[in-house]
Amino acid sequence: MLIGELAERAGTSTRTLRYYEAHGLVHAERSANGYRVYDEAELRVVREIRALLDVGFGLDDVRPFVACLRAGNTSGDVCPDSVQVLRRKLAEVDAYLDRLGAVREQLHTQLTHAIAHRERTCPKRRQLPR
Amino acid sequence: MLIGELAERAGTSTRTLRYYEAHGLVHAERSANGYRVYDEAELRVVREIRALLDVGFGLDDVRPFVACLRAGNTSGDVCPDSVQVLRRKLAEVDAYLDRLGAVREQLHTQLTHAIAHRERTCPKRRQLPR
DNA sequence: GCTTGCCTTGACGCCAGCGGCAAGGTTTAG
DNA sequence: CTAAACCTTGCCGCTGGCGTCAAGGCAAGC
């Protein structure tokens, strides 16, 4: 399998695959003419990477999962390192949810106050002219 | 008030103030020697900018609030444009909260499965060696 | 006069995950 | 023979909000 086919099958670009390789995440043999030749297993690897990036992981966070797949596991998240990353990421997400919830509250009260102020200042104006 | 003093009083850097000015958010007179001279009112403006950026606004989002302050309002959020931005931002935050909540769920189940798998595969290992 | 501490503009660096272009080699079909 | 469709390496661009020099001018105390 050449890089174009892998890219299409994984739903990404050749540029991205070369980028992953440059960062040590995806491996490829080389054919006589220098073309990258991929094993079928790399497709799973690339999909794992993509799935994790979509969830907000960084490339470094993904490494243990890739290594886990390469170690022969059917799923990339069953190895200790992966689990550790999962825990850390879950904590990060929880922390961010908290912060974002607080921000939401602030925005909400600020919006409420602003509208109330407009009511006081200029009562004849309708709230939603629509 | 010179730029250094304003920076310190606003809890930011001179670089930041020049940046804001370059982007049309903060105004300054110039003294004979070319130094920026700030009005007292600019302190409130800078603090408003900082507060909004901390909440996740971009510089463009901040503009209406600054204009609102300049228009003589005691608070930057009572003008229609500001209210509109507040509404939009609130919607964005809500959307992001939803996504992040879904991500959290996925991470949680993935983590649960991974740990369960390790239990099945290697029951003698303790979960948290501590 | 010299140092110290302000201030000025200008320009590059940073982070992350690529996109996109340049300039070229290879293989296959017509 | 040539065009088309692959592939290669390399390098700049992008987004945002600044940090961090660099090189120099101005003010004030000793």
DSSP chain B: --HHHHHHHHTS-HHHHHHHHHTTSS--EE-TTS-EE--THHHHHHHHHHHHHHTT--HHHHHHHHHHHHTT-SSTT-SHHHHHHHHHHHHHHHHHHHHHHHHHHHHHHHHHHHHHHHHHH-TTS-S---
Q: Which residues of A touch B103 (CB under 8 A)?
A: 55-56, 93
Nucleotide whose C1' lies closest to the alpha carbon of residue A16 = C18
Distance, CA of A107 to CA of B61 (rounded, Å): 13
Q: How far is B55 from chain A (nearest CA, A)?
A: 6
Q: Do B48 and B69 contact (CB within 8 A), yes or no?
A: yes
Q: Which residue from B minimizes the CA distance to A105?
A: B90
Nucleotide whose C1' lies closest to the alpha carbon of residue A33 = C26
Distance, CA of A38 to CA of A99 (rounded, Å): 43
Closest Cβ–Cβ partner in B100, B107, B108 for A100 = B100
At A90, which helix (H) or strand (E)? helix A80-121
Distance, CA of A97 to CA of B95 (rounded, Å): 12
Beta bridge partner(s), residue B117: none
Distance, CA of B99 to CA of A84 (rounded, Å): 23
| Predicted local confidence at residue A124, as pLDDT | 62
B80-119 pLDDT tens trace: 999 999 999 999 999 999 999 999 999 999 999 999 998 8
Q: Is B96 exposed, middle or buried (0-12, 13-18, 19+ CB in 10 A)?
A: middle
| Predicted local confidence at residue A118, as pLDDT | 82
Task: Please give the structure tokens belonging to residue B70.
Answer: 């300049």
Close Cβ partners of B44 (under 8 Å, ≥ 6 residues apart): B69
Instruction: Please count the residue pairs, one from chain A and one from chain B, whose beta carbons lie less than 8 angstroms apart.
Output: 80
Q: Which residues of B touch A75 (CB under 8 A)?
A: 114, 117
Site from A65, A107, A108, A126 to mutate, B interface, most B CB atoms within 10 angstroms: A107
Most distant pair of Cα atoms in chain B: their distance: 79
Distance, CA of A108 to CA of A88 (rounded, Å): 30
| Predicted local confidence at residue A120, as pLDDT | 84
Residue found by looking up tokens 């299409």 in the block: A8
Query: Which of the four pLDDT bands, split at 50, 70 and 90, describes residue B124?
Result: low
| B19 CA, C13 C1': Å apart | 16
CB contact (8 A) between residue B89 and residue A107: yes
B30-58 pLDDT tens trace: 999 999 999 999 999 999 999 999 999 99
Tell which strand D nucleotides have any atom below 7 Å from a protein Cβ: 6-9, 16-21, 26-27
CB contact (8 A) between residue A93 and residue B100: yes
**Digits of tens for pLDDT over chain A (130 positions)?**
999 999 999 999 999 999 999 999 999 999 999 999 999 999 999 999 999 999 999 999 999 999 999 999 999 999 999 999 999 999 999 999 999 999 999 999 999 999 998 888 876 655 555 4
Could you tell me the sign of the dihedral formed by the alpha carbons of B77, B78, B79, B80, in that order?
positive
Task: Please give the structure tokens belonging to residue A77.
Answer: 């998240």
CA A107 to chain centre: 27
Query: What type of residue sits at position A110?
Result: Q
Nucleotide whose C1' lies closest to the alpha carbon of residue B31 = C7
